Amino acid sequence: MATIAFSIIGHNNGHQLERCLESVRWADQLVYVDCESSDGSLEIARRFTPHVFSRPNNTNLNVNKTYGFEQATTDWIFYLDPDETVPEALGEEIRRTVAADPAEIAFALPRRNHYFGRWLKHGGQYPDAQLRLFRRGKARFACRHVHEKLEVDGAVGRLREAMNHYPCESPQEAIRKMDFYSTFNAELMAREGVRPGARLALQYLVSKPLSRFLRRYVTKGAFLDGWPGFIVVAVDSIDFWFRYFKLWYLAGPPAEQPPGAPPPERPE
C-alpha cells in the first residue's frame, strides 16, 4: 500500500495550525517545519506528530519547504500550508489515487479561497489550481521565489475534489500579507538589478495596478463576491505601488556629483 506524508512549514500560524493538522491526521506521516515561531506553534505540532523541526525564518519560503520534503520517508508527499485544510472528500480521493499506483507522478487540484469568512468564487479565485501531490523525489521547488511552483519530472494528473484555503480573516491581515510580499518582491527586483525610473514608475504606479484591477474585478467578475471581492482585488492591485516605492527606497539617493557636473539620470 502506497504511503503519503503531508509536509507543512509555518511561522506564528498557531491560530490556524491545529485546524490544518487535524484535517490530515489520517496521513502516514506529518512533517512540520517551524520557522522561529513565538506563538506556541511547536507545541501544537508536537501533539500531532513527532516529525517536528525548527529552522531559521528564511524569507524565501521555498528553502524550508524543500527541507520539509527531505524529511519525508513516504512514497508520496503533499505540500500543505498552515492556512489550508484537506476536506474528508479530498482525503478519500487522495488515498484512492495513490493506492492505484497511477502513471502520473504528480497531481494538481482546485482550491477554494476563503477571505473574511467567505468563499470567493470569482475574480480568478476559483478553481485556483494547485500542484501539491507528488511522488517523493520527483518534484522540487527551484528556491528562487517565494511563490515558485513545483517542478516535476513527468506527467501531471488532476484531482476533482478541492482543498480549502483561509489566507485572510480580516482586511488588516490582507494588508499585512501584502506588505510582506511586496517587500520580498522589491528586494528580489533589486538583487536582479532592476532600478527605479520613469518607465518603471508608469508601469508599477499606473498600468499594472489598473489592468489587474479591471481584469479581476470586472472581466473575471470579482464584483459578484461583494465587498470581500473588492477588498481582495484592491489590495492585490496596490501591491504594485508598494513594490515600486520599496524598490525606490532600496536604490537609495543618487551618488553626489562634482561641482558643475550635469545631474545624473537614473537608469530605467
Q: What domains sit in the chain, N to C, each tagged with a CATH number?
A: 4-168 (3.90.550.10), 171-251 (no CATH)
Q: Which of 163, 177, 190, 179 is nearest to 250 (CA)?
A: 190
Span 88-122, pLDDT tens digits: 999 999 999 999 999 999 999 999 999 999 999 99
Span 55-83, pLDDT tens digits: 999 878 889 999 999 999 999 999 999 99
Per-residue model confidence (pLDDT) at position 254: 58
Distances in Å between the Cα of 187 and the Cα atoms of 149, 150, 195, 246 are 19, 22, 11, 8
Cis bond before residue 267 (omega within 30° of 0) = no
Per-residue model confidence (pLDDT) at position 265: 44
> Is residue 238 predicted with pLDDT exceeding 50?
yes
Distances in Å between the Cα of 174 and the Cα atoms of 136, 190, 235 are 33, 24, 7
CB 36 within 8 A of CB 11: yes
Phi, psi angle pair for 5, to nearest 5°: -120, 150
Mean pLDDT of the chain: 92
Q: Which of 49-63, 156-170, 190-204, 244-258 is predicted with the least confidence, judged by mean pLDDT?
A: 244-258
The model's pTM is: 0.89
